[in-house]
Structure 1
Amino acid sequence: MDGLFGKYRVLLAPMAGVTDIAFRTLCREAGADMAFTEMVSAKGLSFANEKTRHLLALADGEKQVAVQLFGHEPDVMASQAAWIEQEMGESLAYLDINMGCPARKIVSKGDGSALMREPELAAAIVRSVRGAVEHPVTVKFRRGWAEGDETAPAFARAMEEAGADAVAVHGRYTEQLYRGAADWGVIARVREAVGVPVVGNGDVRSGADAVRMAAETGCDAVMIARGAEGNPWLFSQVQAALAGVPEPAPPTVKERIAMARRHAELLTHREGRNIVRMRKHAMWYMAGLPGAAAGRGRINYCTTLDDFNQVFDDLLLIAQEHS
């Protein structure tokens, strides 16, 4: 894994509403080599939107972070990429351009994976951003737009020719959203099609998955997204598996609840008393635990750290009774 991904081989993917400061902290501590901010709107930045700029903040002890921009206007993308580089300096690891998000509210505006249907515009965006910044520029996209119409290898070549320093490939079509299984074969085909580093993404949920993806595709790095939700320990398992050493044991119920508590504490420290966004994280940590069904109903009404801790206390008591 040479060059850009020589030191960044296990990555936390950018996820809107998920990869905030708190979650990145936990994943980096568990072994993620690099973490992304939530995806950032170039248009939002251009309006000096403080809510958007807030996404670029670093966690305590976080020396560098990767930033993913989305948008479809080359000039706006370039100007905001340059602004990010100027503002963040050495705190910025590299910039990624989102051409893979399948969410309707994103693609309906011509952003995200909608750009896979306009490769010339996509290439123009990459050229503009590449010409505006000194940091590496990468592009993340999917297997293609329509199911059965794989365009990723050709699209990857076009991005490389436009100046992308690396590409990341998710093994599903846009029309699939997150249904079905990710096809890792497309990652291998992109790897064969380009000379820049390739990051594999999609359905990495264990250390064994990461090893198999690397072996089957030849990818230069592995990117983990939904598999880490409620499971930051996945990064330590992947790092061990890739290093060929025994993986750490899965977390106990007590460890899962302790991590959920810490996650809520980090959010409170950052966002104040109201931490509604912790609800989805709490659901993920609780999945499969004794009493989780009843706990989920209560989580929907939690807004403060005390609220969440009360649910976690009860879950721990139920788990102890079951054991």
Structure 2
Amino acid sequence: MQIGSVRLPNQVIAAPMAGVTDRAYRILAREQGCGLAVTEMISDLALLYANPRTYRMLDFRGETVPLSVQIFGSNPESMGKAAAIVVERGATIVDINMGCPTPKIVKNNEGSALMKTPQLAAKIVEAVVKSVPAVPVTVKIRKGWDEQSVNAVEFARLVEAAGASAVAVHGRTRSQFYSGKADWESIRKVKEALKIPVIGNGDIWCARDAAKMLELTGCDGVMVGRGAMGNPWIFREIVYYLKTGMELPCPSAQERVETAIRHLQLMVESKGEEVAVFEMRKHAAWYTKGMRGAARIRETINKSQSKKEIEDILRSLLD
């Protein structure tokens, strides 16, 4: 799959997710075969004000390229400057968030709120493209703001004309958040309208879902979000299925536990033990979902204070 000047090894992409797709997650996702991993969304103003926590999000040690960094904001000038900063730090693709539905983002006319102001969105894309001419710029959008204002096709055409190299479409409106069913038909319509690559997003929970989305929409790539939480193996499963038409076996309990422990270790390297132990709670819940004794394990992990405690608790699942 080609995005501007960047060639991806395959068409399977790890979606950006706030509080999830940090360095540890991205390393594991790439090891499991995804062609591109996108960072958590990063505020343009936080970058311009050199916020220390924000700059720590630009830690790409141990990661392979291509690497997409997602930024968000509502001011074309500051978004252009933010794009230059992330490229200087190692981004090989700049992604613009125009799909986040959370209230604290949309109240500032950022994220999916930009679906209501297409002309401003186009100006933001133009500013970012002008700021980083050597790097492809992509845009993540939704089906629309609500069912009364479904405008993904018109919106996508504007950002394409503004210089975007690819568009990712989540088949839900902002008002849906993550509820209901993703409308893959909206993705198909965007694909038919654009010349640049279109990436489909929404309700990919297994390899068959990915193949079905590609077939029904004609999109160029698939973007996996919640289906990959605690399940980085979904990337290798999709890549394998698309190549062979066959399904890989599910990961063993031992592989699930070992990967969860490695995830924790990578987070400790990036964030220190205290932060990593706290943030591992949600990941541990996802990794152990459906395993025997998982509810008890999650309760214990939520009280853990050290890396060793969590490792020991996870290994007890194999006893």
**TM-score (normalizing by structure 2):** 0.94
Give the whole-Å Cα distance in 2 for the aligned partners of 1:111 and 1:14: 16
SS for the counterpart of 1:92 is coil
- Structure 2: which 5+ residue stretches go unaligned? none
Please give the per-residue CA displacement for 1:69-114, whole angstroms capped at 9, x wherever unaligned: 00001110011112222x23xx422111100000111111111000
Q: Could you tell me how far apart the structure 1 residues matched to 2:305 and 2:62 are?
A: 24
Shift of 1:259: 1.0
SS of 2:20's equivalent in the other structure is coil
Residue in 2 aligned with 1:222? 222
Q: Over residues 190-230 of structure 1, what are the superposed CA-to-partner deviations in whole Å (9 max), with x where a residue is unaligned?
A: 01111111011111111111111111111111111111000
RMSD: 1.5
Cα 1:137–1:2 shift into 2, 3 Å: closer
Give me the whole-angstrom Cα distance separating, in 2, the residues matched to 1:301 and 1:110.
38
Tell me the residue number matched to 2:165.
Answer: 165
Distance 2:45 2:83 in 1: 11
Q: Deviations over 1:133-192 (max 9, x none)?
A: 121111101001113532101111111111111111001110111001111111100011
In the alignment, what sits opposite 1:78? 80
Match of 2:96 in 1: 97
Structure 1 consecutive aligned stretches of length 4 or more whose deviation exceeds 6 Å: none
Q: CA deviation at 1:131?
A: 1.1
Show the counterpart of 2:289.
287
Which residue type is aligned with residue 27 of structure 1? Answer: A
Q: Find the residue that maps to 2:318 and give its secondary structure.
A: helix
Alignment of 1:1-323 (within 5 A): 1-2=1-2, 4=4, 7=8, 8-85=10-87, 87-88=88-89, 91-134=90-133, 135-274=135-274, 275=276, 276-317=278-319
The answer to which of 113-122 and 292-301 deviates more is 292-301
Q: CA deviation at 1:54?
A: 1.2
Tell me, what secondary structure is at the counterpart of 2:273? coil
| Aligned residue in 2 for 1:321 | none
Cα distance in 2 for partners of 1:219, 1:306 equals 44
For residues 299-322 of structure 1, what are the alpha-carbon distances to aligned partners after superposition, in whole Å with 9 as ceiling and x for unaligned?
2112321121122132222xxxxx
Name the SS for the 2:62 alignment partner. Answer: coil
CA contact (8 A) 1:113 1:145 kept: yes
- Does the CA-based 8 Å contact 2:129-2:137 persist in structure 1? yes
How big is the shift at 1:245? Answer: 4.6
Q: Is the 8 A contact 1:147 1:176 kept in 2?
A: no
The runs of 5 or more residues in structure 1 that have no matched partner are 318-323
- Residue 2 (structure 1) shift: 4.7
Instruction: Provide, for residues 251-270 of structure 1, a one-character-per-residue CA deviation record: whole Å limited to 9, x for no partner.
Output: 11121111111111111222
Tell me the distance in 2 between the aligned counterparts of 1:92 and 1:84.
6
How big is each residue's C-alpha offset from its partner over 1:48-76, in whole Å with a ceiling of 9 and x where there is no partner?
11211111111314244101100001110
- Tell me, in whole angstroms, the C-alpha distance in 2 between the residues paired with 1:133 and 1:147: 35
Give distance in 2, aligned partners of 1:33 and 1:311.
Answer: 33
Assess if the C-alpha contact under 8 Å between 2:3 and 2:165 holds in 1.
Answer: no
* Equivalent-residue separation in structure 1 for 2:164 and 2:235 (angstroms): 27
2:305 & 2:35 partners in 1: Cα distance?
A: 32
Deviation readout 1:117-144 (Å, 9 max, x if unpaired): 1111111111111111121111101001
Matched residue SS, 2:21: coil
Deviation at 1:115, TM superposition (A): 0.3
Aligned to 1:246, the other structure's residue is in SS state: coil
Separation in structure 1 between the aligned mates of residue 59 and residue 291 of structure 2, nearest angstrom: 33
- Report which stretch shifted further, 148-157 or 11-20: 148-157
Q: Match of 2:172, SS?
A: strand
Alpha carbons 1:74, 1:125 under 8 Å: kept: yes
Letter in 1 for 2:52: E
CA contact (8 A) 1:22 1:59 kept: no
SS in 2 for 1:236: helix
SS of residue in 2 equivalent to 1:222: strand
d(CA) in 2 for partners of 1:220 and 1:113?
22
* Distance (whole Å) between structure 2 residues aligned to residue 48 and residue 195 of structure 1: 37
SS of residue in 1 equivalent to 2:143? strand
Partner Cα separation in structure 2 for residue 121 and residue 196 of structure 1: 21
Change (3 A) 1:163 1:3: closer
Q: What is the distance in 2 between the residues matched to 1:177 and 1:36? A: 20
Alpha-carbon distance in structure 1 between the residues aligned to 2:164 and 2:3: 14
| Fraction of identical pairs, as percent | 45
The 3 A distance-change label for structure 1 pair 286 and 169 is: same
